Structure 1
Amino acid sequence: MEENHLPVFGIGPYLVLIMGIITITSSICSYLHLIPIYKINELNMVFLILGIILIILGIIFWISAVLISKIDREVENNNLVTTGIYAYVRHPIYAAFFYIATGLILISQNILLFILPLIFWVFLTAAMIKTEEKWLIDKYDDDYINYSKKVNRFIPKVI
């Protein structure tokens, strides 16, 4: 029997794995001084605090999407979820790992690595447009298009 819903585990684990490997490897290389280290010593505490906040935010997003919204069951039932954390970001699980990776990079305090979150954002955006969002538009048509006009992919709208 052919399943007619988005895979519960699509390309997401691969994207997250790639981001994780790059983040951890670059952080370790930075810590071991295997790559150049550029720091702004006056901002060490600021980067540390922002990093911790982003990691906590990522954990909250993941818990909200996976455990509270029970996204796996919603996907299997072909429901377009637009409530809970999904009312704030369209892809909170990816956002969670993006925030955690960015937090770890900030904690490393190596300004050389600060380009990675931008690369991750571009990478995730391109992957979402070509995979999940394409499928969601095909499946839910105007419902998803209208939803996507109101809700950002990874970063909640402040206003």
Structure 2
Amino acid sequence: MRSDDFKMPAFGVGPIYVLSCLFLTTLGIMFRDKGFLSAGQMEWERLIFVAFGILFLFGGMYLWIHAVILQRINEKVRERKLLTTGVYGYVRNPVYSAFLFIFTGALLFAANYLLLLLPILFWATLTLLMKQTEEKWLFRQFGEEYLTYSRKVNRVIPWFPK
């Protein structure tokens, strides 16, 4: 079920999503640095926050490198091929998930539990954006193949296929 009349923008919702998350992450860290979020500051748990921050940063970089460089997503989009293997076998949107992980990692370094509300907002926003744009496009491009894939693989949070 391929449709040539419905074109997906070259970068999808990516620039809007990434720039918005970058802005909010930077703003959150600046508010923390200025003392506006002192109620959420965690001092004795700081090492745990930093350790998880490192894991999230490396996890995000892993997802991005595998999706963009190793699996060549841009090339597959031009060829109109649905990727369902590699990291795409664990998460449908590994590039966006990578940025979610990277921004979450940066926020964890701030060791402030109030800032952890932002990744929830990032996830919810990404979910809404995906449902309203790219998933509709993918369904129109790939039909039942995409529906079957979407039933097996999570949208944003990497997990084992169902």
**Alignment TM-score, normalising by the size of structure 2:** 0.90
Alignment of 1:1-80 (within 5 A): 6-80=8-82
d(CA) in 1 for partners of 2:32 and 2:85? 40
SS at match of 2:8: coil
Q: Which residue number corresponds to residue 130 of structure 1?
A: 132
Q: Deviations over 1:35-66 (max 9, x none)?
A: 44422333111110001110011011111111
Q: Is the 8 A contact 2:63 2:95 kept in 1?
A: yes
**Hey, which bits of structure 1, 4+ residues long, moved more than 6 A?**
none
SS at match of 1:95: helix
d(CA) in 1 for partners of 2:87 and 2:7? 21
Computed over aligned residues only, the root mean square deviation of the Cα atoms, in angstroms, reads 1.7
d(CA) in 1 for partners of 2:69 and 2:119? 26
d(CA) in 2 for partners of 1:7 and 1:79? 16
Whether 1:104 aligns to 2:117 is no
SS at match of 1:45: helix
Amino acid corresponding to residue 48 of structure 1 in structure 2: V
- Give the deviation of 1:16 after TM superposition: 0.6
d(CA) in 1 for partners of 2:157 and 2:33? 29
- Give the deviation of 1:155 after TM superposition: 1.3
Unaligned runs of 5+ in 1: none
Unaligned runs of 5+ in 2: none
Q: Is the 8 A contact 1:86 1:92 kept in 2?
A: yes
What is the aligned residue count?
158
- Give the deviation of 1:111 after TM superposition: 1.3
Amino acid corresponding to residue 132 of structure 2 in structure 1: K
Amino acid corresponding to residue 144 of structure 1 in structure 2: Y
d(CA) in 2 for partners of 1:111 and 1:20? 18
Q: Is the 8 A contact 1:6 1:75 kept in 2?
A: no
